Amino acid sequence: MKSNLETQAADQSDKVTITVAAAGSSGKIQVSDASFARGSEVTGTRHQLLVTDASENAAFVGEKLDTGGLWDVTPTIENGLNVYDEAGNVVGTKDEWYLTKLTKTVNDDTRPLLYSGDSTYAMYRRSIDTLRQRRGNLRQRGKTEDDSGIWVRNRGGQMEGDGWDSRYNIFQLGYEYSDTAGSVYGFFGERGIASPDYEIESGKEHTLIQILWLKLVVMIQRLIYPDKANYRTGEQSLSIEHGRTLYRGKDRSFFIEP
């Protein structure tokens, strides 16, 4: 039923009039209030007449309404004898049913949108770690035979957070060149795919990364049925890493790497 609980005007809501109802009859009422379009929240003591049942045999309760927006709205429907004005006076009669309150809750379509930011950030952090790991692995390069070359790596795993979990796979392909024993230059590209599950819905995340000193991350996520969304988010980071291998023991049998 259409309503306008903020104004409470009698001519700004739908009305249902019942002349005859069997004993024990009941009904559920969904409300599309004018405040939805304004984006405002109706507070305070309010009441708007929706149903008049001359037989006084029917009872009504509010039913949640999902119109595909960010919120589900559940109306509070009360008998006229239980509805009071701001002064505490009874407003209605036994044969009347009023809308008195609107309660908004985050709906099933919105929760994946909220959780997706966390899963996307987690995938971004995974990508940063792969860069750090590759820089750390450079100590394994030979000083002469590994002056240049192509390398590949594939990683997979599972992440989880509040309201979501995700399986992911990341493939990397890179090239490095060393002109001296103490310097290495290179670049690599990365393609990652994740399948986040948001308990209510699921989605796909795709990462495409190109790194040459400066890191650019482009992420695309698509939320599947009942709603879908495509978006890209770019992140840039600049990192500097310095380390040293300190061999210990007479036979250099172990080392420390700060």
| Closest alpha carbon to 59 in 30, 96, 92, 31 | 96
For the cut 90, the answer to whether the pLDDT of residue 98 exceeds it is yes
Domain match, 26 and 60 both: yes
Residue 9 has, within 13 A of its CA and on its CB side, a CA count of: 7
pTM tops 0.85: no
Single residue among 53, 73, 106 that ends a domain in this structure: 106
Greater confidence, 136 or 215?
A: 136
Domain match, 102 and 142 both: no
Predicted local distance difference test score (pLDDT) of residue 222: 44
Query: Under a CB-based contact definition with an 8 Å cutoff, are residues 196 and 164 in contact?
Result: yes
Predicted local distance difference test score (pLDDT) of residue 138: 67
Could you tell me the residue range of the domain that residue 6 belongs to? 2-106
Domain match, 115 and 96 both: no
Domain match, 122 and 99 both: no
Domain match, 246 and 128 both: yes
pLDDT-derived band at 212 (thresholds 50, 70, 90) equals low
Predicted local distance difference test score (pLDDT) of residue 16: 96
Which stretches does DSSP call E strand in the chain?
2-3, 16-18, 26-29, 32-33, 48-53, 59-62, 65-66, 71-79, 96-106, 148-161, 164-180, 183-197, 203-212, 214-223, 230-238, 246-248, 254-256
Q: How far is CA 74 from CA 34, 64, 143, 182, in A?
A: 14, 4, 70, 67
Single residue among 45, 73, 106 that ends a domain in this structure: 106
Distance between CA atoms of residues 132 and 206, nearest Å: 21
pLDDT digits (tens, 9 = 90+) for 12-38: 999 999 999 999 999 999 999 998 877
The residue-averaged pLDDT of 187-199 equals 85
Domain match, 82 and 101 both: yes
pLDDT-derived band at 39 (thresholds 50, 70, 90) equals confident
Domain match, 57 and 45 both: yes
For the cut 60, the answer to whether the pLDDT of residue 59 exceeds it is yes
Single residue among 57, 77, 106 that ends a domain in this structure: 106
Structurally, the chain folds into a number of domains equal to 2
- Strand, helix or coil for residue 115: helix
Query: Under a CB-based contact definition with an 8 Å cutoff, are residues 49 and 15 in contact?
Result: yes
The two three-digit tokens of residue 150, written as one number: 């192509």
Domain match, 52 and 76 both: yes
pLDDT-derived band at 140 (thresholds 50, 70, 90) equals low
Distance between CA atoms of residues 58 and 63, nearest Å: 16
| End-to-end Cα separation, the chain, in angstroms | 69
